[in-house]
A and B are shown apart, each in its own frame.
Chain A
Amino acid sequence: MADPMRIRAQASGDKATVRVLMSHEMESGQRKDANGKIVPAWFIQEVTALHNEKTVMTAEWGPAVAKNPFLQFSVKGAKAGDKITILWKDNKGDSRKDEATVT
């Protein structure tokens, strides 16, 4: 299973800023290994963000996103104590779900 994400969510005013670090190789499928063989593409395809169980964002990602990606976005109306959940799914079918509380 994949390593956990680091999620920080901070409320200020009428919105909360969410910062997410994901642990993923994000292989582009363009690189070759020491034997000259192409390293198969392996990347996060789908990212979903939930605010108190309600989907607030979905994103489709491709192989151009960097290794160990960092994602930042703001959620309108989120206050301290609310729950932010992030889900990702990669092209090999692996997935990860982590939660954080808005502070």
Chain B
Amino acid sequence: MKRLTAIAAFGGCLLALPALAQKTASQGIDEYRAMLQDGNPAELFEAKGEDLWKQKRGPKNASLEKCDLGKGPGVVKGAFVELPRFFADTQKVQDLESRLLTCMATLQGFNADEIAKTPFGKGEQNNVTALATWISAESKGMRFNLSQDHASEKVFYEVGKRLFFQRGGPHDFSCASCHGEEGKRIRLQDLPMLTKNPGDGVGFAAWPAYRVSNGQMWGMQQRLNDCYRQQRFPYPGFASDVTIALGVYLGVNAKGAASVAPAIKR
């Protein structure tokens, strides 16, 4: 048998490796991220999502290949960077995940309300996340360009902006408390300023993402849900207008930023 070198990624060991002499904490983290970049487990979810898209499932035993994500039935490439948007068939502004629920309900016969009520990481929610991961990957490197043509899209932007600055909860926090200034961070994580375009692959342009610390794949819905958790707010409903309005606000602000989703996070 030939002698080979095998490198297995042991979670904690990597953190201990880079010597932090003359280096800021965030540079150290950037190095750690660069090491993880090659072999992002998000690829596993991408593969699963692609398979789910083509697979015949649900009470109607149909695939999602006729799902209209805004660029016509079945068109996936480029759809992600134009969401959330207004959809004429549902007469609603929808983000990627709420649109997937619509397609799963109309094409496959799933109960969308039931999926929305399922906790993250359980049952069909895992499938929605995997689908979102694959769909976002199909637009990797493309630039965000959300429409603001329809009146509802403008309303959602304004509502999202209000929500972003709305303070409340036991800590009297708003999204802007953490994301309204440059150079803020939570523990060691730099927080992007989201009231303007934070740049390529930051903030809205970095989700869905795989989180190494807990080995979970998170979509934008879960990202927003967790922001609210950290603010000690009640959780917003999955695919609710609140989360979509925030998505519109963040997405429109990120106009021109290149998407790196699915990304990898600490």
Q: Taking beta carbons and an 8 Å cutoff, which residues of A are in contact with B?
A: 3-4, 6, 19, 21, 23, 55-59, 61, 64-76
Interface residue B2 (Cβ < 8 Å from any Cβ of A): yes
Say yes or no: is B44 at the interface (Cβ < 8 Å to chain A): yes
In the docked arrangement, what's the CA distance between A66 and B8, Å? 9
Residues on B lying within 8 angstroms of A by beta carbon are 1-2, 4-11, 38-39, 41, 43-44, 47-48, 215
A58 / chain B contacts, CB cutoff of 8 Å? 1
A70 to B10, CA, bound (A): 9
A20–chain B nearest beta-carbon distance, Å:
8
Chain A residue contacts of B44, Cβ below 8 A: 3-4, 6, 21, 23, 68
User: Chain A binding site: helix, strand, loop or mixed by DSSP?
Assistant: strand
Give the residue of B1, B10, B47 whose beta carbon is less than 8 angstroms from that of A6. Answer: B47
The answer on a CB contact under 8 Å between A64 and B7 is: no
14 extra interface residue pairs, beta carbon distance < 8 Å, beyond A64-B10, A69-B9, A72-B7: A4-B44, A19-B39, A21-B39, A21-B41, A23-B44, A56-B1, A57-B1, A57-B6, A65-B8, A66-B9, A66-B10, A67-B215, A71-B6, A75-B4
Asked whether, in the complex, the Cβ of A3 is within 8 Å of the Cβ of B8, the reply is no
A-B interface, 4 closest residue pairs, ranked by CB to CB distance from nearest:
A67-B215, A70-B39, A68-B41, A66-B11
* Distance to closest chain A CB from B153 (angstroms): 37
Chain A residues in 8 Å Cβ range of B47: 3-4, 6
Contact B215 A68 (CB under 8 A): yes
A58 to B41, CA, bound (A): 22
Q: Residues of A contacting B41 with CB < 8 Å?
A: 21, 23, 67-68, 70
Closest B residue to A75 by CB, please name it. B4
**Which of A4, A69, A74, A75 is B8 in contact with, Cβ under 8 Å?**
A69
- Is there contact, CB below 8 Å, between B8 and A71? yes
Q: Once the chains bind, are A73 and B6 in contact (CB under 8 Å)?
A: yes
- Option from A6, A59, A69 in Cβ contact (under 8 Å) with B43: A6
Task: Name the B residues within 8 Å of A3 (CB-CB).
Answer: 44, 47-48
